[in-house]
Structure 1
Amino acid sequence: MSSSATSDARALLVENGSVTVLRSLKTLTTRTFCSCSLHYLIHHLKMSMELDVFVGNTTVLDEDVYQLWLDGHTVTDAVRLRMETGALLECEASAEVLQSDTMDQFRTFQMCERLLQSPSKVANQLLFQIPPQRQAMLIERYYEFDSLFAREVLGKKLSKGTKKDLDDISSKTGIALKSCRRQGDINLYRSCVPPTWDYAAVVFFANSRFETGKKKLQYLSFQDFAFCAGQLISYWTVGATDSVMEDMDVDLEKEFLHDLKDLKVLVHDKDMLDQHKRQAEDFYRCFHVNLSRALVNIASKLTHTKDVRDLFIDLVEKFIEPCRSDKWTIGDLRLFLNHYSSTAHTLKAFRHQAIWDRYMGVINSCILKMYHD
């Protein structure tokens, strides 16, 4: 080794998770360690008076740094955020070491991105030695939607037209444009995307074109809509009893929507309406004819595309808002819906119990999820 290499200078080289530390003093010895942590590395630099070489073939990935990369931060911003969360104290590292570590990890993630866009390739590639559980984490997080971003694109076709709006979405939500672009591009990899309920909700709402942007619906979060999408996919779509996650491009079952017209008898037949009212009042303090009409009318109109799109605005305007005006608690609402749904089975002349249960099961769940400030 040359005299310059044996000076008191330190060289820290980080490459794809393999860390090599050179420190020279009067007496040089070499030891090899595998898969060392950055904390141990810095500590050893301070304590050792020898040449230590750390070699590892496992790619070291920091989940917090990965999230910063996914969020679209620059290296400079990521270093600042890591420092603000105490990374320097935790690792006993200098700002220069933290900068180098962050830059190296960002470079690794950028190299992995091509593989992440085809998740099946991650397990078979040889460039990065990544344990299976880490592979799963990388893929899962890469295809996660930020809830604020997902709320903005919900109900819209994820296409080139949507991409033109990414600048506006970034400005409105505060999400970095780079992150918005990544999430917008997820639709391009639809055949490769691992099945998740959040992604299924985005695709389902885009295909069905549900109205989600009106002012009265702004209080609803993406998670509210994702829950409702899960209910609709599970119980109202073609082949709803099958594994719906295998095909996210599911459609509402037209035959079922057509059969919902038969429920009109509950409000159009006066004798049946009166009987339903009496049965319900035996269990609950009042029946609320207007609420009954609202639920049945919403059902009977779902044969029309426009009314399907307006499902959520109809539920808010025709059912949820009247309940709010009467100052119902969530407990009041749950009690009414349970008794209203179940007492329909006591009506001897009513012949559509199966359709009724399939409809009200989803409607009850969605209304209860949507009933909040």
Structure 2
Amino acid sequence: MGDINVFVGNTTLIDPEVYQLWLDGLSAQEAMYARQHTGILRKTGASQEMLLHDTLDYYRTFSMLEKLLHIPPQLANQTLLQIPPEAQKMLIEKYYEFDFQVVREMLGKKLSSKNRKDLDDISDKTNVRLRSCRRQFDNFKRVFKMVEDMEGPIVRNIQSHYLVSDELGKQYAAIVFFANNRFDTGKKRLQYLIVPDFTYCADEMIKNWTSGSFGSKADIDADLDRDFLQELRDLKMLLDKDTSDQHKTLVCSELQTSVSPRVSADMESNFKSLSRALVNIAAGMIHSKERRDFFNDVVEKFIDPCRQAGWKYEDIKNFLAQYELACQKFEAFQRQPRLISVLERYMKTFTNCTLKMYHS
């Protein structure tokens, strides 16, 4: 009889590829066939039965770990399985990752039991397995429940409780923010927008429009600053006839040499309608129904008219920059520094969101 070399260890081995198949919602049998297609039997000399048992063994491990993954800090403290720190990090990050097309269908909706029942439709529409859709929905709901009433920055709270990366923490913060403020992203004219567009805009709003987020050391949270939303109504003074005429003259004369003659003429003829849209969107933010329609209103009343008139990205960027600068020349603004601060706070995020959404 020949020598037999035996190695004994207690470190739990995690195969990232099998883990991904489990996360994708494949059954153990389906995962076994997927592994077989990679040529693993030929490479290892194993039988199909051995591959199935190996896959089932991994699946049992993942099922045991799932409850711990719901509360990631517990993963490091458990003693049942010895998992190296790097593997723990991978398990957590992968478990909380999500499919953009699934999130696009859920974004802004209430994370309720009723909407969980609609996941069959989302699964059919996105071609993502139902089990995977459920995992993603339940992750969003769990994170939302954990951080919705917590003080402090959303991203930091998510990272400290779920141990995810900075980027994934920002994405979850955006999902929590949208769920909390119930922004409507499902309108037909918004279908061209993708999840990174919305997560970018959410991050801008969190940084500039939430409680204590502007010029204050107070912590950011998931709620929009009510005082700021109330103050936005003061911008309606820009729609007074004399102010509006003066505003139009200042902006259009400043931009005359930096845009094409056609765009310059369009800016002049449509200035008042664009200004009205910009100010009315701001003034309506205090009301929940109008706030829900923020993205639809920006696209319908501002982006679409500019797009139809053939404005380029730089034209919009220059227009919005001059729009804000011209306001500061008005006596009413000079007398009220607070009003300038409100305008700057609004325009910074409005501009960044509009430019982000200005694509085909």
TM-score range relative to shorter protein: 0.7 to 0.9
Question: Alpha carbons of 1:215 and 1:93: their partners in 2 closer, same or farther (altered >3 Å)?
Answer: farther
Deviation at 1:157, TM superposition (A): 1.1
1:333 correspondence with 2:322 = no
Matches within 5 A, 1:40-119: 51-85=4-38, 87=40, 91-94=43-46, 96=48, 97-119=50-72
Alpha-carbon separation, structure 2, partners of 1:213 and 1:294: 21
In the alignment, does 2:250 pair up with 1:279? yes
8 Å Cα contact 1:71/1:175 also seen in 2: yes
Aligned amino acid, residue 225 of structure 1? F
Alignment CA distance shift 1:167-1:53 (3 Å): same
- Three-state SS of the structure 2 residue aligned to 1:255 is helix
* Pairing 1:262–2:262 present: no
Q: In the alignment, what sits opposite 2:292?
A: 309
How far the C-alpha of 1:87 sits from its partner, in A, is: 4.8
Shift of 1:88: 5.3
**Aligned pair in 2 of structure 1 residues 264, 98: CA closer, same or farther (>3 Å)?**
same
Per the normalisation by structure 1, the TM-score is: 0.79
In structure 1, what is the equivalent of residue 356 of structure 2?
Answer: 369
Counterparts in 2 of 1:58-207, with a 5 A limit? 58-85=11-38, 87=40, 91-94=43-46, 96=48, 97-186=50-139, 187-188=141-142, 190-191=145-146, 193-194=162-163, 196-207=169-180
State the Cα distance separating 1:272 from its structure 2 match. 2.5
Distance 1:94 1:332, change over 3 A: farther
Distance 1:140 1:181 in 2: 17
SS in 2 for 1:346: coil
1:340 and 1:93 map into 2 onto residues whose CA distance is 70
In the alignment, the residues of structure 2 paired with residue 70 and residue 319 of structure 1 have an alpha-carbon distance, to the nearest angstrom, of 41
The residue that corresponds to 1:45 in the other structure is none
Residue 310 (structure 2) pairs with residue 292 (structure 1): no
Q: For the aligned residues, what is the CA RMSD?
A: 2.1
- 1:372 deviates by 1.4
C-alpha displacement at 1:336, in angstroms? 2.0
Provide closer, same or farther for how the CA distance between residues 327 and 108 of structure 1 changes in structure 2, counting only shifts above 3 A. same
Q: Alignment partner for residue 222 of structure 1, among 177, 188, 195?
A: 195
The aligned amino acid for 1:259 is: E
Alignment counterpart, residue 238 of structure 1, candidates 203, 206, 211:
211
SS at match of 1:213: coil
CA contact (8 A) 1:143 1:194 kept: no
* 1:210 aligned residue: 183
The separation in 2 between residues aligned to 1:311 and 1:103, in whole angstroms, is 48
The unaligned stretches of length 5 or more in structure 2 are: 147-160, 257-263
Note the residue ranges of structure 1 that are not aligned, 5 or more in a row. 1-25, 30-50
Change in Cα spacing, 1:342 to 1:101, as seen in structure 2 (3 Å) is farther
**C-alpha contact 1:166 1:177 (8 A) present in aligned 2:** yes
Q: Secondary structure at the match of 1:126?
A: coil
Bigger CA radius of gyration: 1
C-alpha distance in 2 between matches for 1:230 and 1:68: 31
The answer on whether the counterparts of 2:19 and 2:62 sit within 8 Å (CA) in structure 1 is: yes
Q: 1:88 to 1:205 in 2, by over 3 A?
A: same
Tell me which amino acid in the other structure corresponds to 1:231.
E
Q: Is the 8 A contact 2:303 2:354 kept in 1?
A: yes
Distance 1:342 1:87, change over 3 A: farther
- Give 1:85 shift: 4.6
Give, in whole Å, the separation in 1 of the partners of 2:53 and 2:100: 31
What one-letter code is carried by the residue in structure 1 that aligns with 2:319?
F
**CA separation in 1, counterparts of 2:37 and 2:309?**
48
Q: Give the Cα–Cα distance (whole angstroms) in 1 for the partners of residues 18 and 114 of structure 2.
A: 32
Structure with a larger share of its residues in strand: 1
Distance 2:239 2:55 in 1: 65
8 Å CA contact 1:155, 1:208 repeated in 2:
yes
Q: Which amino acid in structure 1 is aligned with residue 359 of structure 2?
A: H
Stretch moving more, 96-105 or 207-216? 96-105
Instruction: Call closer, same or farther: CA 1:122–1:278 in 2, change over 3 Å.
Output: same
| Residue 253 in structure 1 maps to residue 236 in structure 2 | no
* 356 and 85 in structure 1: CA distance in 2 versus 1, 3 angstrom threshold: farther
2:73–2:163: 8 Å Cα contact kept in structure 1? Answer: no
Secondary structure at the aligned position of 1:224 is classed as: helix
TM-score normalised to structure 2 length: 0.82
Moved more, 187-196 or 349-358: 187-196
Report if aligned partners of 2:73, 2:162 keep a CA contact under 8 Å in 1: no
Higher RCO, 1 vs 2 (CA within 8 Å, ≥6 residues apart): 2
